[in-house]
Structure 1
Amino acid sequence: MFMQFIKDFWTISCKELMSIMKTQIDGLSEEEASRRIQQQERSGKKNADWYEDVFLFLRQYQNPLVLILIFASLLSFLLKEYTGGVIVLVILFITGFLSFIQESNAGRVIKKLQTMTASKACVIRSGKEKEILISEVVPGDIVLIRAGDLIPADGILCEANDLHVNEAILTGESFPTEKTTETSLPGTPMVQAKNAVFKGTSVVNGTAIMLAIHTGDFTELGKIISMLRKAPDETAFEKGVKRFGMFLMRVTVLIALAILILNVLFNKPIIDSILFALALSVGMTPELLPAVLTVTLSAGARKMASKKVIVKKLNAVQNLGEIDVLCSDKTGTLTEGAVKLHSAVDSNGEQSDKVLQYAYLNAFFESGFPNPIDEAIRNVKSISVGQFQKIDEIPYDFIRKKLSILVTDGKRNILITKGAVNSILSCCDSFELNGECMPIQQRLDQFYYQFNSFSRLGFRTIAVCYKNIDLHATVRKEDENGMIFLGFITFYDPPKEGIADIIQRLKQDGISLKIISGDHPFVVKYIADQIGIHQQEILIGSDLMKMTEEALQHQVNRVNLFAEIEPIQKERIIRALQKNNHVVGFLGDGINDANALRTADVGISVDRAVDVAKDAANIILLEKDMRVIRDGVIEGRKTFMNTQKYIFVVTSANFGNMISMAFSSLALPFLPLLPQQILLNNLLSDILSLAIGTDAVDHETLISPKRWDIHYIQRFMIVFGIQSSVFDFFTFAVLLFIFHTSAYYFRVGWFTEGLLTQVFTLLIIRTHRPIWKSKPDKYLLATAMGVSLIVLLLPYLPVRHYFQLSPLSLPMLMCMLFIVLLYILTAEITKKWAMSRI
């Protein structure tokens, strides 16, 4: 019964819905919840996993050239050319299967990493609060929500206290919507249902108790996702790789088509010519690029996870390697994050137990999102609250910048408010001194002077005020006026040990740090001086608000310290940096950081952040530490470099082979390589390429941010491609004019020389150093040795007949090896010239 879809549930009262859902305000029992979870799993997409695997496997063959080659192979069966057809199909299957296994394993790694940072919900089960994964919420659950939470299901509000929800993901309206418990009238559309909340939306401020009605694909968000199934936006790197791959494929198809037509005109066998042209096309296109990218990025993600950096989206790995600006708040990243209460002083600047008591009552009874300020106040163990009871609460929000609690001691009701100094002073019309109240205007300047003095010493400062009110049970924001200023609470959060060295290393790595804080400019300046950022100029939020976009673009390049910044201004700062051609990383963990996290090229949050921040981030840190971020940046650059190695190798080798094949197929009276030989060459080089993902990277290539440069790769491809073709033509001349080989042994000789050359091309291009001064990864080295061994031994194995390979004479083999050695020496010289000139 509980799994039924209830249309327009917001027009039904919470009490009626509880009856329908067979639940109560104390929540489901553990046994009933377990039964519903099992039923929910059974009603979901049971075949999702195997369906995804089948789709992934078939995707390996979506290249139109591969499909045409399969068709041509089947055609060869009709013409009774069984051997060639079988070999082609077997090699295509092995290549696709290897690619499928690598991508499938990589996908499982990412899913496992994502579960480590999955968002959670607080539910009531068997009368007790319990934190569970959002995916474990079932219809009928009673869910407690507060500021910073993601709504885990579509549901009805049973209780709500100053609740505002951001529903932009459903409605496109970014301004928060106020929610109440009043049942909507029949016919009320979903977007106007004030008593309903929906999965995927986020709580901006307030608290509430909701009854979960729909989960999973039955939610409004689930229905939208099911209809759209929209792929994530491509990054600049992905677009560049795709664009270059398509360019190479177009060139390959044109050349292959020209070769096919000319071979037919020269009266060469039509079927052989078709298979040759198609095999050449498959061999020349970088069809393994998606798999190599996935494998390389997932290998990087695994390494980053071992260093406490969890990647939610694979493309964030390469993006992290590109960042040259890191924007961060100071609390917990640059400082210890263990905020400690330093002092509680009255309006005269003297230690005050009353100020501390009222601040403690406010912090003790508040029910909003966890924060270090309230935690520091609650750590004071000597204050008793036994005689006080909470009556009502006005939750904190980032507009008012304060939080109010209405308490009673049985004799009177007291509204206690604490928050930002400016916000508190603006709602007070008097101050208390020695038990007497006086007009605040008499000492307002002195209070601001006192506040600035604390800030200059690096103390984070909030203010406390109160007022006695009539005996009524609720308060509203309008009641926060005419209050009595009581005093200040100061906190100290010292800089992290060794943080100055880490910031210096980031600078050496080409990353500039910008502190974006909501704190007072003096506090930001004090901390910056402590950690080695010595800059006099600070951009304040009120000044930033007055700037044009052009003026801000100019300022953000010069200024590294930003103080009293509003949430929306963080986005402006990031966009201004991006317009200046910077790749920006942003570290944030608060409710007000979500939009900035989405705007940044790399959004970074922490495992202890509010759900809305973790949901917006691409990367989650298991430890809020700059060392962890730097480790992640280095791993991102390693991943980028290994991806680039594959691009360099496949493009230069393929371009060279295209030139060689084009000329040799026209100049020779026979095909230079048979289709099965081309595909075997392709398979072995693919196996070699897959090993690049875990390769070691030279230290000197990691000291600066990495960017995708398609023009550099094209120039590199042309230089090494032409060099490869020169050695191919030299090999042809040796085979034809010195050894006077037949077509059969010509193919064996070129097959041997060509594949060995490809092996050493990878080993040469993988490093900026000479090949003998840079040690490759053990797996890559073993794979390179294995492929080389296969090339040399294959002509002696029983399967050689299927590929028309036979042993070369010893003089011919030694000559091929000498050409390979000569290629290594020449390629080293070319590499040194190319990397300094191109």
Structure 2
Amino acid sequence: MKFITGKNQANRIRKNKHDSETKLRAFAFMEQDELFAAVSSSPTGLTGGEAEDRQDEFGKNIITAGLKNTPLHRMREAVVNPFNIILLFIASVTYFTDVVAASRPDYVTIIIILALIVLSSLVAFLQSQRSNAAAEKLSHMISNKIHAWRDGKLVEILQEDVVPGDIIHLSAGDMLPADVRFLTVKDTFVAQSALTGESNPVEKFSDMKNERTDALTDVKNIGFMGSNIVSGSATALVLATGNDTYFGAMAETLSGDRAKTSFERGVGAVSGLLVRMMLVMLPIVFLINGFAKGEWPQALLFSISIAVGLTPHMLPVIMTSTLAKGAVSMSRHKVIVRTLGSIQSFGEMDVLCTDKTGTLTEDRIVLEKYMNLRGEDDARILRHAYLNSFFQTGLKNLIDLAIINRAVQNGDESITENYSREDEIPFDFSRRRMSVVLADKTGKRQLITKGAVEEMIGISSFVEISGQVLPMDETTRRSAMAVYEKYNAAGLRMIAIAQKNEVPESGAFNVADEKDMVLIGFVGFLDPPKESAKAAILTLKNHGVRTVVLTGDSEGVAAKVCGKVGVDTSILLTGRDVEKMDDAELIKAVRTCDLFAKLSPAQKERVVSAFQAAGHTVGYMGDGINDAPALRQADVGISVDSAVDIAKETADIILLEKDLMVLEKGVIEGRRTFGNIVKYIKMAASGNFGNMISVMTASIFLPFLPMLPVQLLTQNLLCDFAQMGMPFDSVDDEYVRKPRKWETKSIKSFMAYMGPLSSIFDILCFAIMWWIIGANKLALAPLFQSGWFVFGTVSQVLVIHMIRTAKVPFFQSRPSRPLLISTVLVAIVAFVVGFSGFAIGIDMMPLPASFLPWLALILAGYFLCAQMTKRFYAKRYGDWL
């Protein structure tokens, strides 16, 4: 893909937006016949053959503008990096010193350096490819679908298969899969905040209530990819897909960087610290070696090589590989990661906010009771509820399905033949009710409404008791509420039913018509608690995760269910209570309250925000339209594969099974992933700090370089290979028992302990090579360098196993097989190179066998001292990693 920057890029984006806007404006003002002709479609939609031809022409309905995750881009990132640039610079200088200016040209060093470039680039690219393949495979396990008319039938297709000319059906919760022109609407409200930043949804219409001066996003009959249906229903004609959409034209400007997580900020802080230390050290080492040895070119190459070794260039590879490995492992537990970076937040989570239905309950709502206002069973109430649920065209939820199933069981399904739907007023979360207007065969109209009890009582002016319609006064209201509260306290989810016959003869109906209703009765539902919920909540608690329930359901039902599954119900706050609190009061309340009931979507979001303000890392689990704001606000949004589109699109993590037990397994895997990344960072930070001290000491006291650039770079590459098994390492059970947060101070204190310790044993190695082995003159510099090469490589391999666990390595905590293999192989290579003729290939001398016992001694000393330091550190700071 061609990348354009600066002014040219800005001009291209403006042109694409202008072209898209011009086309959409033209479509907005066309009559329907003209519109269908313009896109070569018809009111019945496309045939399967036409859809295939158009997909060949227009491609998949996927945004690819600004896409950088291509094999070519990954190859470029693997090859063009600071490490390889410095290697090429060193190879160029070496070419002039060893070939051009030398009496006998020597190509060995250059060949080794070029081999290092190829090898490191290949490893980085293959790891990137594997990580990307894993992410792609996981993304295909979840998909959003849409209903479209194909071959005269309404069928379900993948959003990516939508093509221009399709007629699609939309209802509350659906994402708009493309730019569309609305053909029919019913109280259709669309959230366009992704495009406009407006928090309030806007109403859409099918007729041309447009003005040519309107901003494009204000055009009334056009919908845009990236927005979603908040309430109502609609049919629409697809005008543009993929990059041809208005959203596609803006993709490069809308794809700004997300706010960094605490983990990303911590990694950046440590990387920045190491880079700053390297930048300070580079000139110091260069000047010391230049003045002391008089070989300024060699001093420059040595200081640059040291800088390469101190730069945490493997961090991106290790992080990506570890996160990808974690994502694949989590998928085995039916947890799909949409954004790799959310794995760490998942492991860090210490508060899980969750909806009640389907998570703590069986998600199979059964209609238990249908009663009049005296609490007596009344089949007429069921029939009215059935007519409302059957004739509504919006999203049929579990309550609608339970009503329809019970009516069918009772043999009432034939009553629908006596009515026709005139109109409807869809459900929304502010009204918490929905209405249908029906006409019988005589033409008589009737408005039937069902909804939350308090809201229904609020719009009712009358009650029907014993066949009589009476005014709603304090006595009748209290009588109705007493029946509701009795069954609600018993754990039934209660819905009120009301109707009226005084309905206008013509014209569209709206919310204003929902008044002066006659309250006639209630229907009660049972959603039994899951048997696994109590055990899952206890397991999460044992792993340091507090479960908090945020539900739109009533207090009685919420308290009954939560009490059975082990959620603390001693303190219960309702949406009304939350509304009265200011932010400070709410932050104080969330410290003790685990159950919030009758919450609106905005109130759920506010409660999540309060937990975050109180210092918690919050996960939110939900699957409905009303959960989208809270999912977006949470540190990690969790949804399920059966959720509405907007919930899945907002979530970071998708569960293939709606069960808290599945979630607990994912949390543990997230902590394992975080642990393996922290291991590498602490190892890199402390090792680099120790190397700086060692190099400074050697540069001051030795009459030659302690290691040549090619030797340093070879050692650096070997150590990188040893660390390649880190993403696959096991993590101690004790580590995953509580949430883990990123702490930069912990890294610095770790460096202060482990860094100088490694330097002490480096200096011991120098002393042995100088006084015992006798490599104490310029002619024997290659022998000295060989000794430090072997010790430095093997000790860095050893420290991997020391740092990876708070226990005694190998005995109390065993590494994973991949890590064991990668470290053992590197140690073997270091010994083979140092004690054989291979040493000559990188300008070293083979070590004598007499060095072996001394090497074993200082390695054993390093192991024992590291173990003692580990114990002291853990005792002082309370933790090791």
Residue 858 of structure 2 is aligned to residue 826 of structure 1: no
Q: Write out per-residue CA displacement over residues 542-564 of structure 1, whole angstroms, 9 at most, x where no aligned residue.
A: 12111111111111111111111
Q: Secondary structure at the match of 1:557?
A: coil
> Which residue of 2 is the match for residue 408 of structure 1?
439
TM-score normalised to the size of structure 2?
Answer: 0.92
> Which residue of 1 is the match for residue 118 of structure 2?
93
| Alpha-carbon separation, structure 2, partners of 1:48 and 1:425 | 53
| Alpha-carbon separation, structure 2, partners of 1:714 and 1:515 | 38
Q: Secondary structure at the match of 2:654?
A: strand
**Structure 1 residues 323 and 664: CA distance shift in structure 2, 3 A:** same
Q: CA deviation at 1:830?
A: 1.1
**Structure 1 residues 50 and 449: CA distance shift in structure 2, 3 A:** closer
Q: CA deviation at 1:51?
A: 7.8
| Alpha-carbon separation, structure 1, partners of 2:41 and 2:600 | 42
Q: CA deviation at 1:827?
A: 1.1
Q: Write out per-residue CA displacement over residues 752-798 of structure 1, whole angstroms, 9 at most, x where no aligned residue.
A: 11111111101111011111110111111111111111112234667
Match of 1:430 among 462, 473, 480: 462
Q: CA deviation at 1:471?
A: 4.3
> Which residue of 2 is the match for residue 779 of structure 1?
818
Question: Contact 2:361–2:528 (CA<8 Å) still a contact in 1?
Answer: yes
Match of 2:673 among 636, 639, 649: 639
TM-score normalised to the size of structure 1?
Answer: 0.97
| Alpha-carbon separation, structure 2, partners of 1:830 and 1:320 | 31
**Structure 1 residues 422 and 196: CA distance shift in structure 2, 3 A:** same
> Which residue of 1 is the match for residue 9 of structure 2?
none
Match of 2:566 among 532, 544, 567: 532
| Alpha-carbon separation, structure 1, partners of 2:80 and 2:334 | 37
| Alpha-carbon separation, structure 2, partners of 1:775 and 1:390 | 69
Question: Aligned pair count?
Answer: 837
| Alpha-carbon separation, structure 2, partners of 1:547 and 1:46 | 45
> Which residue of 1 is the match for residue 229 of structure 2?
203
Q: CA deviation at 1:287?
A: 0.6
Residue 23 of structure 2 is aligned to residue 6 of structure 1: yes
Q: CA deviation at 1:108?
A: 2.1
Match of 1:275 among 286, 301, 310: 301
| Alpha-carbon separation, structure 2, partners of 1:201 and 1:234 | 25
Greater shift, 435-444 or 308-317, is seen at: 435-444
Matched ranges for 1:288-307 at <5 A: 288-307=314-333
> Which residue of 2 is the match for residue 449 of structure 1?
482
Q: CA deviation at 1:336?
A: 1.0
Residue 765 of structure 2 is aligned to residue 748 of structure 1: no
Question: Contact 1:541–1:566 (CA<8 Å) still a contact in 2?
Answer: yes
Question: Contact 1:65–1:281 (CA<8 Å) still a contact in 2?
Answer: no
> Which residue of 2 is the match for residue 255 of structure 1?
281
**Structure 1 residues 74 and 101: CA distance shift in structure 2, 3 A:** same
**Structure 1 residues 42 and 407: CA distance shift in structure 2, 3 A:** closer
Question: Contact 1:88–1:675 (CA<8 Å) still a contact in 2?
Answer: no
Q: Write out per-residue CA displacement over residues 630-671 of structure 1, whole angstroms, 9 at most, x where no aligned residue.
A: 111101100110000101111111111111112112211111
Q: CA RMSD in A?
A: 2.1
> Which residue of 1 is the match for residue 85 of structure 2?
67
| Alpha-carbon separation, structure 2, partners of 1:402 and 1:33 | 38
Q: CA deviation at 1:228?
A: 5.1
Greater shift, 390-399 or 462-471, is seen at: 462-471
Q: Quick one: which amino acid aligns to residue 211 of structure 1?
A: L
Q: CA deviation at 1:290?
A: 1.0
Greater shift, 429-438 or 487-496, is seen at: 429-438
Residue 109 of structure 2 is aligned to residue 78 of structure 1: no
Question: Contact 2:108–2:842 (CA<8 Å) still a contact in 1?
Answer: no
Question: Contact 2:189–2:230 (CA<8 Å) still a contact in 1?
Answer: yes
Residue 829 of structure 2 is aligned to residue 790 of structure 1: yes
Q: Secondary structure at the match of 2:225?
A: coil
Match of 1:110 among 104, 115, 135: 135
> Which residue of 2 is the match for residue 383 of structure 1?
412
Question: Contact 1:466–1:485 (CA<8 Å) still a contact in 2?
Answer: yes
Q: CA deviation at 1:527?
A: 1.4
Q: Secondary structure at the match of 2:220?
A: coil
Question: Contact 2:170–2:233 (CA<8 Å) still a contact in 1?
Answer: yes
> Which residue of 2 is the match for residue 368 of structure 1?
394
**Structure 1 residues 72 and 14: CA distance shift in structure 2, 3 A:** farther
> Which residue of 2 is the match for residue 18 of structure 1?
36
Q: CA deviation at 1:278?
A: 1.2
Q: Secondary structure at the match of 1:558?
A: coil
Residue 76 of structure 2 is aligned to residue 53 of structure 1: no
Question: Contact 1:69–1:278 (CA<8 Å) still a contact in 2?
Answer: no
Residue 689 of structure 2 is aligned to residue 689 of structure 1: no
Q: CA deviation at 1:582?
A: 0.6
Match of 2:653 among 619, 623, 631: 619
Q: Quick one: which amino acid aligns to residue 301 of structure 1?
A: A
Q: Quick one: which amino acid aligns to residue 558 of structure 1?
A: T
| Alpha-carbon separation, structure 2, partners of 1:593 and 1:47 | 29
| Alpha-carbon separation, structure 2, partners of 1:279 and 1:492 | 70
Question: Contact 1:416–1:464 (CA<8 Å) still a contact in 2?
Answer: yes
Residue 802 of structure 2 is aligned to residue 764 of structure 1: yes
**Structure 1 residues 762 and 170: CA distance shift in structure 2, 3 A:** same
Matched ranges for 1:806-821 at <5 A: 806-821=845-860
> Which residue of 2 is the match for residue 566 of structure 1?
600
| Alpha-carbon separation, structure 1, partners of 2:804 and 2:464 | 72
Q: CA deviation at 1:356?
A: 0.5
Residue 347 of structure 2 is aligned to residue 326 of structure 1: no
Question: Contact 2:20–2:244 (CA<8 Å) still a contact in 1?
Answer: no
Q: Secondary structure at the match of 1:283?
A: helix
| Alpha-carbon separation, structure 1, partners of 2:60 and 2:231 | 36
Q: CA deviation at 1:449?
A: 1.2
| Unmatched 5+ stretches in structure 2 | 1-18, 100-106
> Which residue of 1 is the match for residue 375 of structure 2?
349
Residue 468 of structure 2 is aligned to residue 439 of structure 1: no
Question: Contact 1:360–1:377 (CA<8 Å) still a contact in 2?
Answer: yes
**Structure 1 residues 553 and 656: CA distance shift in structure 2, 3 A:** same
Q: CA deviation at 1:689?
A: 1.4
> Which residue of 2 is the match for residue 395 of structure 1?
426
Q: Write out per-residue CA displacement over residues 457-483 of structure 1, whole angstroms, 9 at most, x where no aligned residue.
A: 111100111122354364222221122
Question: Contact 1:621–1:628 (CA<8 Å) still a contact in 2?
Answer: yes
Identity %: 35
**Structure 1 residues 574 and 50: CA distance shift in structure 2, 3 A:** closer
Q: Secondary structure at the match of 1:659?
A: helix
Q: Quick one: which amino acid aligns to residue 175 of structure 2?
A: L
Q: Secondary structure at the match of 2:181?
A: strand
> Which residue of 1 is the match for residue 5 of structure 2?
none
Q: Quick one: which amino acid aligns to residue 808 of structure 2?
A: P
Greater shift, 336-345 or 250-259, is seen at: 250-259
Q: Secondary structure at the match of 1:608?
A: coil
Residue 875 of structure 2 is aligned to residue 836 of structure 1: yes
Q: Quick one: which amino acid aligns to residue 74 of structure 1?
A: S
**Structure 1 residues 44 and 172: CA distance shift in structure 2, 3 A:** closer
Q: Write out per-residue CA displacement over residues 30-64 of structure 1, whole angstroms, 9 at most, x where no aligned residue.
A: 11101111212299999998983222233245554
Q: CA deviation at 1:292?
A: 0.7
> Which residue of 2 is the match for residue 226 of structure 1?
252
Greater shift, 261-270 or 549-558, is seen at: 261-270
Question: Contact 2:270–2:685 (CA<8 Å) still a contact in 1?
Answer: no
> Which residue of 1 is the match for residue 711 of structure 2?
677
Q: Write out per-residue CA displacement over residues 477-531 of structure 1, whole angstroms, 9 at most, x where no aligned residue.
A: 2221122211100001111103212211111111111111112112221112111
Q: Quick one: which amino acid aligns to residue 400 of structure 1?
A: R
| Alpha-carbon separation, structure 1, partners of 2:834 and 2:515 | 92
Q: CA deviation at 1:821?
A: 1.8
Question: Contact 1:14–1:211 (CA<8 Å) still a contact in 2?
Answer: no
Q: CA deviation at 1:281?
A: 0.8
> Which residue of 1 is the match for residue 188 of structure 2?
163
> Which residue of 2 is the match for residue 707 of structure 1?
741
> Which residue of 2 is the match for residue 421 of structure 1?
453
| Alpha-carbon separation, structure 2, partners of 1:536 and 1:573 | 18
Q: CA deviation at 1:160?
A: 0.6
Greater shift, 62-71 or 11-20, is seen at: 62-71
